[in-house]
Structure 1
Amino acid sequence: MLERLERELMLLSRHQVLARRECEHERLERSAYLLLNRIETQGPMSIGQLAEAFGLDTSTVNRQTAALLRCGLAERVADPDGGMARKLRITAEGSSRLVADREFNRSCLARVVADWSPEDVRELEDALTRLNRCAETLEGREWPRPE
């Protein structure tokens, strides 16, 4: 019963990878894109908070965030809430790159759904939102949305 859904989701991720190849500007790595999106949505976060948010080992997130720091996409700051752990905050460069990638992704999506009605696009958005929220509930990790 779920064969088609699994296959279509696999193909969807494949198409995203292909779209990354056709871009003129330097794209963010997938992990950088996800981390920067989360930090942008939630504000400064510690390595531990990011590891928890993504369900990853701290050492994995430490490597990924070290790459963000090296590229100047994020910076370490004192905890705005006065805690001991330093937090990562997106830089102006990180924000600029994130916006550029997001705009590129949206332009690719616009080409894909160019012949769709607005109702069809909303229906897909609603179905994907429902799918993601159900997965988040099962994982016990909600992805914050700017709604």
Structure 2
Amino acid sequence: MLEKLERELMLLSRHQVLARRERDPERLERSAYLLLSRIDTQGPMSIGQLAEAFGLDTSTVNRQTAALLRCGLAERVADPDGGMARKLCITAEGGRRLAEDREVNRSCLARVVADWSPEQVKELEDVLIRLNRSAEALEGRYWPRTEEDDTRAAGHPSVPHESPTPAPQTPATPAP
């Protein structure tokens, strides 16, 4: 029963990878895009918080965030909430590059769904939101969404931004 779904999700991820290979060298690496997107949505985060959010080993996230710092895409700041750990926030350059990448991604998506009706695009969005939220619930790690109020109004259940109990640590992987 899940054969077609698994195949289509594999193909979807394949298309994203191929699009990134052919892109402008100024485009962000996948891990940089994901880390900056999370910080952009949630606000300044420590390496530990990022590691927990992605279910990665702290050393993996430390290497990835070091690359962001070297490229000037993020900077360390004092915890805005007064905590002891330094947090990472996006620099103006990081924000500019993230916005550019998002625009390129949206432009590519617009070409893919150019002959779809607005209702079909909305239906795909709703199904993907449901799929992602189900996966997040199983992992116990939720991706904060800026559209929480809109999705609640559309009948999607509200989900917490943080897991009530920490998810088990997984071994390090190459990218979030």
TM-score by length of 1: 0.98
Q: How does 1:80-91 map to 2 (within 5 A)?
A: 80-91=80-91
Between stretches 25-34 and 126-135, larger displacement belongs to 25-34
Q: Note the residue ranges of structure 2 that are not aligned, 5 or more in a row.
A: 148-176
- Residue 115 of structure 1 aligns with which residue? 115
Q: Note the residue ranges of structure 1 that are not aligned, 5 or more in a row.
A: none
The percent of aligned pairs where both chains have the same amino acid is 86
Q: How does 1:61-140 map to 2 (within 5 A)?
A: 61-140=61-140
If each structure's helix is expressed as a fraction of its own residues, which one has the higher value? 1
Q: Deviations over 1:60-81 (max 9, x none)?
A: 0000000000000000001111
Q: Distance in 1 between matches of 2:26 and 2:9?
A: 25
Q: Distance in 1 between matches of 2:39 and 2:131?
A: 23
Q: Deviations over 1:38-62 (max 9, x none)?
A: 0001110000000011111000000
- Residue 172 of structure 2 aligns with which residue? none
Point out 4+ residue stretches in structure 1 off by more than 4 angstroms. none
State the structure with bigger RCO (CA 8 A, min sep 6), 1 or 2: 2
- Residue 59 of structure 2 aligns with which residue? 59
Q: Distance in 2 between matches of 1:23 and 1:33?
A: 14
- Residue 75 of structure 1: SS of its match in structure 2? strand
Cα RMSD (Å): 0.8
- Residue 85 of structure 1: SS of its match in structure 2? coil
Q: Which amino acid aligns with 2:74?
A: A
TM-score by length of 2: 0.82
Q: Deviations over 1:4-42 (max 9, x none)?
A: 111111110111111123333511011100000000011
